[in-house]
Structure 1
Amino acid sequence: MSWTIYHNPACGTSRNVLAKLRDAGIEPRVIEYLKTPPDRETLERLISEAGLTPREALREKGTDWQELGLGAPGVTGEQIVEAMLAEPILINRPFVTGPNGTKLCRPSETVAELISPPAG
């Protein structure tokens, strides 16, 4: 399996994760998800494989998530995914997929868990 990073070059964390992958000798496929957003199937797979709920994968900082009502009680995961598909900036970043799994690598140091997973 190859490596993929769902990347935003304007994001320091995303740039740091990409640098850590490259420092480890990994040249991932880079998908600038704001230019090429994932489709529903891909987004739901990334969230699920990372062991997250849509709410946990929602980016709040620098977005209009509050104005969209996504923080209100009763908002479903489906509604959050719909909002992410409509406004990809709402997808937290960077998601990284590789032979050892899928992870939302925030903070950037967590990418080490994919590069060198713990033994056992």
Structure 2
Amino acid sequence: MQRIKKQIAVGIKKADSVKHIVYGVVSEPDVEDLQGHIISAEEIENACNDFMLNYQTICDCHEYVADARVVQNYIAPVDFELEGQIVKTGSWVMAVKVYNVDLWDKIVAGEYTGFSIGGEANAEEIV
């Protein structure tokens, strides 16, 4: 098996300007990424659970811990619509409360457009 390290960026689906909360899909199952990799719903659920059990930190561009906190985090039990876009069953969905004004301004200005996850895995060839 090949060991891979990767980061995945996904778009923000909704930003609540009153509450300073951003909502988005962290990872979607069975979709090929730019490197040709596919993450199963099971692996996404494992990553979501591991994040909540061991990390729960939000970083600014993978650099430093941002002044923001996870306020909602779940695996979509069914397909549903979020701000006009379909969220597939098995997708990892997160909402983050942003406390830092400069960070919020970057989100509103479109400088930050989504969540980005990083991780390591053993790649398996599917035949």
* TM-score, length of structure 2 as denominator length: 0.28
* Larger fraction in helix: 1
* Larger fraction in strand: 2
